[in-house]
């Protein structure tokens, strides 16, 4: 199954295309790479998943937020490139988790996005290098923010 076909099978989960909330490009192609700016966990109705891991949300809720942020990034990629089939692999994923000082399961939360990308591009091409970090706050009070770099065919 192609990446685009896999993505389209998730269409009932698709969020609307986000508009930049500041002065930046949501998606930028440089050479053979495409960079995706930070994406927030957007629900299909356009609402955001808010909260702090270790306080308001548990790991499973955070993992769902990371998946939703990943889906938002895929919507942007599709809008920018026309098709996810133009991407050959995930290169780098950065996941930021709004969390308490004592929360330590950031990687488990960001797995929500990593697993989504592996679903779309397969276990080999859908998994790149990754960082999962905790932060004291994120824009609009969201639980997770995702940014990524992809290689083009």
In this prediction, residue 74 carries a pLDDT of 94
- Residue spans of the domains in the chain: they are 38-147
Percent share of the chain, pLDDT over 70:
95
pTM (2 d.p.)? 0.93
Q: Which CATH number is associated with domain 38-147?
A: 3.30.1330.40
Q: Which residues contact 3 (CB under 8 A, 6 or more apart)?
A: 83, 84, 85, 87, 120, 121
Q: Between helices 59-81 and 106-125, what is the axis angle to 10°?
A: 40
Give per-residue pLDDT as tens, 16-32.
Answer: 666 777 888 999 999 99
Give per-residue pLDDT as tens, 80-95.
Answer: 999 999 999 999 999 9
**129-135/87-98 β-pairing:** parallel
129, 91 contact by CB (below 8 A): yes
Give per-residue pLDDT as tens, 104-127.
Answer: 999 999 999 999 999 999 999 999
């Amino acid at each position: 199954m192609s990446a685009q076909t896999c993505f389209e099978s998730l269409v009932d989960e698709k969020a609307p295309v986000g508009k930049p909330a500041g002065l930046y490009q949501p998606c930028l192609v440089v050479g053979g790479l495409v960079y995706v700016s930070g994406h927030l966990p957007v629900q299909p109705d356009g609402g955001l998943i808010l909260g702090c891991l270790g306080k308001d949300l548990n790991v499973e809720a955070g993992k769902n937020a990371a998946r939703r942020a990943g889906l938002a990034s895929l919507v942007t990629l599709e809008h920018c490139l026309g098709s996810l089939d133009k991407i050959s692999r995930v290169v780098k994923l950065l996941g930021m988790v709004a969390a308490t000082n004592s929360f330590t399961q950031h990687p488990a939360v960001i797995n929500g996005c990593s697993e989504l990308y592996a679903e779309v591009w397969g276990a080999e091409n859908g998994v790149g290098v990754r960082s999962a970090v905790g932060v004291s706050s994120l824009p609009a009070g969201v639980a997770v923010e995702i940014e990524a770099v992809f290689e083009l065919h």
